[in-house]
Amino acid sequence: MSNDVDSGALGGAPVEPIRVLIVDDHALFRRGLEMVLEQEPDIDVVGEAGDGAEAVAKAADLLPDIVLMDVRMPKRSGIEACLAIKDTVPSANIIMLTISDEEVDLYDAIKAGAMGYLLKEISIEEVAGAIRAVYGGQSLISPSMASKLLNEFASMIRRQDDRQQLPTPRLTEREMEVLRLVAKGMNNRDIARELFISENTVKNHIRNILEKLQLHSRMEAVVYAVREKLLEIT
């Protein structure tokens, strides 16, 4: 695959292909994913791993942009691997691609820093779109899991109301604006257009927000925004 591809979404400017690491303990599933993704000119499968421990090592060596990873795997779970990869390769965005529709796995994945949680019920052809979306700054959850997450949001708000609220870290007015737009599901490009600032400035604001709130991902920031009633879930 060529190192440079033309991306219409980026105004025709040459960009590097999205580097993807596939992690799943089923070799046939890995191969199927690889065959489909190899047909995409803007995606480059740089490696694969069969368990969480191998995934951490491969991520440190290959520095992927996106890690597609199962939750339930031998040696080291996908959740544990997610935490380790975010520590060693913070630039990597992780999408959990799994058969597990357990709420605890969803919440643990979000807390570990995953940017997406997709069930294997989606068609394999949809995976490429998910990779592009997460690479572009979006967070994705399978529709069948979304209601569970919204229910958890509501429970978090109730729990917060039932106990004494800790002091909220001080965010600037601009950081609050960015956080609200992140909570609405906007990607960096859309936020930049909305606020008339550059994408790099948006990235800097989000990094500062996550540091101040001691969070690992945009999705956790959404949870925080709902809990603090910056965004209402109806």
Domain ranges of the chain: 5-142, 164-227
As a whole number of angstroms, the distance between CA 142 and CA 101 comes to 9
Query: Per residue of the chain (234 residues), what is the pLDDT tens digit?
Result: 434 444 444 444 447 899 999 999 999 989 989 999 999 999 999 999 999 999 999 999 999 999 999 998 888 888 899 999 999 999 999 999 888 877 778 888 888 888 888 888 888 778 999 999 999 888 888 766 766 666 665 565 555 555 445 556 678 889 888 988 887 778 889 999 999 999 999 999 999 988 888 888 887 877 777 777 665 544
- Residue 86 near residue 56, CB atoms below 8 Å: no
Most distant CA pair in the chain, distance: 56
User: Which of 36, 104, 39, 41 minimizes the C-alpha distance to 68?
Assistant: 36
Amino acid at 76: R
In the prediction, which pLDDT does 60 show? 94
Write down the architecture of domain 164-227 according to CATH. Orthogonal Bundle (1.10)
In the prediction, which pLDDT does 2 show? 39
In the prediction, which pLDDT does 8 show? 43
Q: What sign has the CA pseudo-torsion 211, 217, 222, 223?
A: negative
In the prediction, which pLDDT does 7 show? 43
Q: Is the pTM of this model over 0.75?
A: no
In the prediction, which pLDDT does 147 show? 65
Bridge partners (DSSP) of residue 98 are: 119
Bridge partners (DSSP) of residue 22 are: 48, 68
In the prediction, which pLDDT does 231 show? 56
At the topology level, CATH places domain 5-142 in: Rossmann fold (3.40.50)
